[in-house]
A = this chain, B = another copy of it.
Amino acid sequence: MTAPPIVLATDFGLSDAYVGMMRGVIHSINHAAHVIDLTHGIGPQDVRHGAVVLTDSFRYFPAGSIFVAVVDPGVGTDRAAILLETPDARFVAPDNGLLTLVCRQYEPFFGDTNQSAPAPVPQACRVWRLTNPDYWRHPVSNTFHGRDVFSPVAAHLSLGAPPNVLGDPAPTITTLALPIPRPERNAIQGQVVFADAFGNLVTDITADLLDDIGVAPGDPSTTVTIAGHTIAGLARTFHDPPGSDLPSSSLRALIGSHGRLEIAIVDGNAASTLNAGAGVPVSINGRANNRSP
């Protein structure tokens, strides 16, 4: 059990047998494989959602973990299959931008563009194109490379196959257009990336960005605006901060479990109440005098 775990993250859901087939393929190659499900609830074909979940999650797993990340609207086309090796983990995935935000952890402005395009691989990382069919399952379908390409490659990696046998090194990796919300004075304009199952609206404004404008949880002078509503204060928890005079069932803005600005409703569902989801603008304003000199 000292072999690295294989961690699955897909948009397949769990109601079909697709994830089960992947597990079967992995265990057929490596009987002792240690397979862990990160999630199968990425929004269908929502590559940006997948990119956020991967970057927010991978450090919770053992170093060296092998992630099989499959959000693959281009399956069956000529988009490449790749292996990304970072100092912390390995990722087997389609080359469609799904790993953009993982790469950003090793190069601060990676993917900070308005257009999807190939970009040089971050210096700390390496990429291989998975071109060697000897490590795939045959016959290879046109619709399910998660089962026929990514899973068998991950299983072989977990058995110690070196990346060089799986394919050729690649100098670039495809980025998704994921512009970093820019602070302007003491404010940041971002947007919702996805709603979780509780209806909490998770945004592209990270805790680090909030630091940049001097906003901290508990600060009652901060305001957050979304879908025509303005929320006073950045809460510490889903509950009123001590001494707060906020009404008990109102909207809350807080740094949530993803380490991101999140909009929630106590005992309620912010996504359905606000009729808001991915792409909806969110702005946060700190006090004018918050910023460090």
Which residues of A1-36 are within 8 A (CB) of B?
1-2, 5, 7, 9, 12-21, 23-25, 27-28, 31-32, 34-36
Contacts of A31 in B (CB 8 A): 1-2, 5, 62
| Chain A 51-89 interface 0/1 with B at a Cβ cutoff of 8 Å (1 = within) | 001001100111001000000011111000000000000
A37–B23 CB distance below 8 A? yes
Q: How far is the CA of A139 from the CA of B35 in the complex (A)?
A: 26
A194 to B157 alpha-carbon distance, docked (Å): 35
**Distance (Å) between the CB of A165 and the closest chain B CB?**
23
Q: Which of B20, B44, B57 contacts A38 (CB 8 A)?
A: B20
Q: Please measure, in the bound complex, the distance between the C-alpha atom of A241 and the C-alpha atom of B17, giving whole angstroms.
A: 26
Q: How many residues of A contact B (CB 8 A)?
A: 63
Separation in Å of the A201 CB from the closest CB of chain B? 13
The yes or no answer to A107 lying at the interface (CB within 8 A) is no
Question: Which of B13, B36, B238 is the one whose CB lies under 8 Å from A197?
Answer: B13
Say yes or no: A143 contacts B45, CB within 8 Å.
Answer: no
- Which of B17, B57, B144, B256 meets A143, CB within 8 Å? B256
Contacts of A65 in B (CB 8 A): 24
**How many angstroms from the CA of A2 to the CA of B172 in the assembled complex?**
41
Q: Which of A9, A17, A23, A34 has the most CB of B within 10 A?
A: A17
CA distance A254 to B75 in the complex (A): 13
Contact B40 A27 (CB under 8 A): no
Contact of A237 among B13, B35, B38, B75 (CB under 8 A): B75
> Are A236 and B76 in contact, CB atoms less than 8 angstroms apart?
yes
Closest chain B residue, CB of each to CB of A52? B17
Q: Which residues of B contact A62 (CB under 8 A)?
A: 24, 27-28, 31
Contact call A39/B27, Cβ cutoff below 8 A? no
**A208 on the interface (CB 8 Å rule)?**
no
Does A291 count as interface, using CB distance less than 8 angstroms?
no
**Cβ proximity bits A132-155 to B, threshold 8 Å, 1 near / 0 not:** 000000000111100100000000
Contacts of A35 in B (CB 8 A): 36
- Interface hits, A221-251 → B, CB 8 Å: 236-239
Find out whether the CB atom of A238 lies under 8 angstroms from the CB atom of B16. Answer: no
**What is the CB-to-nearest-CB distance from A80 to chain B, in angstroms, rounded to a whole number?**
15
> Which 8 interchain pairs have the tightest Cβ spacing?
A76-B237, A15-B41, A20-B38, A24-B60, A24-B61, A144-B257, A1-B32, A17-B39
Given A5-B31, A73-B267, 12 other A-B contacts at CB below 8 A? A7-B20, A17-B39, A17-B57, A18-B196, A20-B36, A21-B38, A24-B62, A27-B34, A28-B62, A31-B62, A142-B237, A143-B254
